[in-house]
Homo-oligomer: A and B are copies of this chain.
């Protein structure tokens, strides 16, 4: 009757638990006690204890003198070999650094991940303005410069699927209306860059351009500036130059 296919969905419960546990380490709390972990994961304390012990032994976690668990160096080291680091970040860093030198502004590099903008890198100096983004952070697609680019270059069904869900409004200027957003995204694709004005943070805006590899948008580079300094033409030109450098570097690898 049923087409079966029993396995595949590996019922490796213990591993799933461990992954869930590691997932607790995030922006909100990177140093957790055993009880905190047990609460967050809804695992029995003793099971939690057993799992963390093994993770510590393997270097995936460390435990400080404060008895709190933190992400360990072994995990970090492995992550450095993720395509995200090894290919994208590595290829883009020099160009991003130059971009930062030239503009002195907040530079961000992001990819699409889990229906959000995943910030792969962020360069930010004293001169630039504070932002919410952080390397490793996930932000909405429709309220960030890089996010709008990433979304705009997706196939229509992905865009529609995104628009179908309710859209958050971090600021009064955030675009939450599907129709307005649809128009905005079309504009982004037509012009080849996105503009954001106080849609994520009041007082600041952003420009972003896609990094296109044979037609598909693999990432987006953006710059976040104080609204008053939002010189679109100049920034787009600078960003485009950086983007093409990055593309060249990516192809070389």
Contacts and interface: CB of A to CB of B under 8 A. Distances in A.
B80 A135 contact: yes
* Most B C-beta atoms less than 10 A away, residue of A57, A72, A80: A80
Interface stretch (A118-126, A185-193, A207-215): A118-126
A137 B81 CA distance: 10
Contacts of A111: 73
Given A15-B14, A15-B55, A73 B84 contact: yes
Contacts of A134: 80
B97 A83 contact: no
B136 A19 contact: no
A83 B30 CA distance: 8
A114 B134 CA distance: 28
A83 B100 contact: no
Interface string A12-30: 1011101110110111001
A93 interface: yes
A19 B58 contact: yes
Contacts of A14: 12, 14-15
B15 A85 contact: no
Contacts of A114: 73
A111 to B, nearest CB: 8
Contacts of A26: 77-78, 81
Contact of A77 (B16, B57, B83, B136): B136
A113 B55 CA distance: 17
User: What 10 pairs between A and B have smallest CB-CB spacing?
Assistant: A80-B136, A79-B79, A10-B53, A71-B82, A19-B58, A12-B54, A76-B82, A30-B81, A15-B54, A10-B54
20 contacts: A8-B53, A10-B57, A12-B53, A14-B14, A15-B15, A16-B58, A19-B58, A19-B59, A19-B74, A23-B78, A26-B81, A70-B82, A71-B82, A73-B114, A76-B82, A79-B136, A80-B135, A81-B136, A97-B100, A97-B125
